[in-house]
Structure 1
Amino acid sequence: MIRGRYRDTMALTLLLLFLILSPALAWLPVEDWESGNVTTSGGGLECVCSVFLPDSSFPADRVQHMQQVATNLRLEVEIQMNKLVYYGAKLDIFLGELKGLTVRVAIMESSPDNYIKLDFEMLRIELREFEALVSQLKESLNSSSPMLDSLYTEIHNMTLIVNQLETYDKSNLEVIRIEFAKLQRKLEECQKEQELITPDIGNCNHTGIMSVSKPKVFQINAHLNPGYQYGGWGKDSKPVRGYESMYWYGAYSRPSVYEFYLYSNYDKLIERSSFTHHGLPQGYEGTGNNYVVHGNTVYFQADNPFRMSKLNLTSSVYSHRHFTKASERFTYTYSPNQYLDFSADEKGLWVMYATEEAKGKIVIAKIDEKSFGIEDEWTTSAFKPLVGNAFMVCGVMYATRPGDVNTEEIYYSYDTKTKEEKYMSIPLQKFQENFVNLHYNPTDQKLYMYNNGYYVSYNVRFSRE
């Protein structure tokens, strides 16, 4: 009797256990289940259940991972769809512009004699821009499409048509020559009129600077790096024959001097295509931020020991002069370690510095180019640490001081001929706040500034006598 009750209790317990586990077992494959066997013994009910569970539990972590992956994929799809909408809009604009360009090419194809070489070159430039835009779209989408491929092919075909049309332009060559001759005569007449109202280049028949033009910003330096904040650029102030159009450039990430680049003309400077490069050997490197090219020679400040240095760009010969007078305690506002400031004008070559005897005021010294020695000296009233920079024009030193973020002020001048000092207020607009090299060039009467890594120049206007 007791044994029968015991069996009944066990059977009920197993049945309850089966009911509790049934939700979890519903996840198991059918082959993991075995049906229970029911037998009777001695008139009593005996229930035997056999259940085989898998080795691992329900993979909840995998389900959560898959949910996260699905969410990320959904976000990525939304981003790509937004990009497609954006590039689709840009493509519509480009297609509209390309249709207009197609019409222009068709018109030129029907009457090529009515167009000159410049028209063809402008079309060729626009086609290259379209080609670059299509390539950019393909790279951005990281794929290609029949529409983009067709657009690229059409641009290529139009380029071939423009090149072919240009070969038919022979009849216009004589007309172009005549027009250029007329333009040249007008330019010569304009130049003669201009010479009547402006001082002659290289002469000093004026009473000083009256105003300075707005800055002309050419471009960032040849290294294409705004971090190259120390250096300078400009033209030779006394060029040798054949190098009248030469430009020079040198810049660094710290106030030092160790290489120069020379460009045959303005176009080569803009193209960053130098015809020669001078790297200073170890032991000949310079320091500071100001140097000039005068008579095909670079003049710069060297250190250890402190001295004036020059490098002949033709012979690559170095010369040095120890300079104990200049103090290494006073420098310009924007320029660390700029103790010797070389400058050149209509009167020759100069160097400006501060001394302990003058208590930090700027001293002007005239350099004898042959002996590389000092001819004469003049002490000014300009306290160098408060000066932004200084330059020489017709034997007169002009000093600047900071105004606001966008403005510098030419505030002081000293005439080495008359020893006359003047205070003035001539605004000098800056492209950016800091600059480290400002010098005047007598061959074109311009100021050249190296402004936070950018080439900047100014036209100088003088007062007439």
Structure 2
Amino acid sequence: MYLAMILQLFTLHIIFHQVASASNLCTCEFTNAEKPFPHDKLNTVEQGALKCNQDVNPQKALEFDSLLLGLEKRLPQLVDEVSELERENDGDLYGAIALQVIHNDMTEIQQLLNKLNSTHLRFQQQNSIVSETLQKINEEMQQLEEFDTMQTVKRQQTNIRLTRDLDQCKNGHHLIPPVTPAHGACPRGQLINVTGPRVYTAGEYPGSYKYGAWGRDPKPDVGKENWYWLVILTSSNIYGHYVRRYSTLSALIVGISTPGNVQISASNPTTNTIQGPNVVLYGEALYYNCYKEAAVCRFNLNSKTVQSTALPQGTRVNSKGNFCHLEACYPYTDLDLATDETGVWVVYTTSQDHGNLVLARVEEDGERPVLGQTWHTSVYKNAVTNSFVACGVLYATRYISPDAEEIFYSFDTATSVERFDLGIRITKMAGHIYSLNYSPVDEMLHAYGEAFMTSYKVVFW
């Protein structure tokens, strides 16, 4: 009897527990009144925007500008040549030679025009395609904004406009440069800015030679005032053995070297080989780091002779005293040759200076170059990516990003005043600048990096 009652009570307990457990379960049905977000359309818009960025970039615009600049400089020279022929024509040998020169120049200009026309046509086609793509992207983005029920995008756009207006307001106070004493006694004044690029070209060796240097001779021979020079490192990105000359900027851009190469040595590398990219041309002579030596070599392009001057004992060479930034060093940049209004300079470092930059004049003593007055700085060379000299002032740059370099340091040889706060940005067209030369002829900085030649206008005040 008792056993049966116990079994009934136990059965009732189990049933009650199951009912109670079932009553504790809660189910909700969620219904979204909004339309599903079109992720596929967003991906299409992102891909279209990415393609537009690839098709339209500063490099392509600068290619066209460089061609125009080359043509702008070339046409007045042709007019002058024709005028000179009209004045000096003797109806004989001079006239025949002058006509041949003019014919060659016209051929060069025609090639430049052909390249300009083809580039312009390509740009027109790209612009048409990009305009259609942007119109479509704009329409699709307006449709996607319907899903922004919390108006996040609208608030973000308002914040961007406010930030831009604030930046413009701040920058407006710096349009007039601060009144500070000009360094030394430079007639050009103080370097306050670098604008451009003005020229951006791969020349006749697009993508072939990563390291090199180019520019103009501040003290050219008569008749070579408009010439440009190019040195490329053709062996292991370390060594070179010739100088290539171009009669005009347009010839450099389209890759026509009428003078051709001036060879230092027949093979490479060997005695007198150029070592490293930091070379300059001055007075029809190339100055560079002598092959495997702590010395400056001077190669005379007219006499084809090489003279050298030794640097102090302890000078770091053979890629032991390079320009660097946090991620990498530029090999065989131990010596940096530079030119300015007064002549040739060499920048290097020594063990005695604990790796800091040293600046010295390279002067002439009869037929040989000699090391002249020397200045010791307090800026560490491995924290510098490049240097140049303008009007007796040494400037040093540092790496900011793949798109920007900064002139952050200066040393005035007239006053020995150092500054670390210049903050002058250089817009880069390639990830790295391996050589940087100042040309007082046109007040330009000529940069070479990643097989591209770029030039910038220097602004003095």
Query: Is the pair's TM-score, using the shorter chain for normalization, greater than 0.5?
Result: yes
Distance 1:260 1:220 in 2: 17
Cα distance, 1:455 vs structure 2: 1.0
Q: Say if 2:213 is the partner of 1:213.
A: no
Q: Say if 2:337 is the partner of 1:335.
A: no
Cα distance, 1:368 vs structure 2: 1.0
Q: Which residue of 2 aligns with 1:442?
A: 440
Cα distance, 1:322 vs structure 2: 2.5
Correspondent of 1:393 among 390, 394, 404: 390
Distance 1:265 1:448 in 2: 15
Q: Is the 8 A contact 1:354 1:363 kept in 2?
A: yes
Which AA in structure 2 matches 1:331? N
Cα distance, 1:304 vs structure 2: 3.4
Correspondent of 1:347 among 334, 342, 346: 342
User: Relative to structure 2, which stretch is displaced further, 269-278 or 283-292?
Assistant: 269-278
Correspondent of 1:246 among 217, 227, 243: 227
Q: Which residue of 1 aligns with 2:378?
A: 381
Which AA in structure 1 matches 2:286? V
Deviation per residue, 1:58-113 (Å, 9 max, x gap): xxxxxxxxxxxxxxxxxxxxxxxxxxxxxxxxxxxxxxxxxxxxxxxxxxxxxxxx
Correspondent of 2:217 among 214, 229, 236: 236
Total equivalences in the alignment: 269
Q: Say if 2:298 is the partner of 1:306.
A: no
Give the aligned CA root-mean-square deviation in angstroms.
Answer: 2.4
The higher-RCO structure (CA 8 Å, 6+ apart) is 2
Distance 2:353 2:114 in 1: 59
Q: Is the 8 A contact 1:215 1:456 kept in 2?
A: yes
Query: 2:189 is paired with a residue of what secondary structure?
Result: strand
Correspondent of 2:353 among 341, 347, 358: 358
Distance 1:403 1:365 in 2: 27
Distance 1:412 1:304 in 2: 29
Q: Is the 8 A contact 1:289 1:335 kept in 2?
A: no
**Which stretches of structure 1, 4 residues or longer, exceed 6 Å deviation after superposition?**
none
Q: Say if 2:242 is the partner of 1:259.
A: yes
Distance 1:280 1:208 in 2: 38
Query: 1:268 is paired with a residue of what secondary structure?
Result: helix
Q: Is the 8 A contact 2:311 2:371 kept in 1?
A: no
Q: Is the 8 A contact 2:188 2:391 kept in 1?
A: no
**Equivalent runs, 1:84-123 vs 2, <5 Å:** none
Cα distance, 1:267 vs structure 2: 2.1
Q: Which residue of 2 aligns with 1:273?
A: 256
**Equivalent runs, 1:402-413 vs 2, <5 Å:** 402-413=399-410
Q: Say if 2:186 is the partner of 1:204.
A: yes
Which AA in structure 1 matches 2:211? Y
Query: 2:330 is paired with a residue of what secondary structure?
Result: coil
Cα distance, 1:217 vs structure 2: 3.8
Cα distance, 1:283 vs structure 2: 1.5
Distance 2:426 2:186 in 1: 22
Which structure 1 residue ranges, 5 or more long, are not aligned?
1-120, 134-202
Distance 1:125 1:305 in 2: 46
The alignment's TM-score, normalised by the length of structure 2, stands at 0.55
Distance 1:309 1:348 in 2: 15
What is the identity percentage for the equivalent residue pairs of Structure 1 and Structure 2?
29
Which structure 2 residue ranges, 5 or more long, are not aligned?
1-109, 123-184
Cα distance, 1:241 vs structure 2: 1.4
Cα distance, 1:271 vs structure 2: 2.6
Cα distance, 1:373 vs structure 2: 0.7
The alignment's TM-score, normalised by the length of structure 1, stands at 0.55
User: Relative to structure 2, which stretch is displaced further, 354-363 or 282-291?
Assistant: 282-291
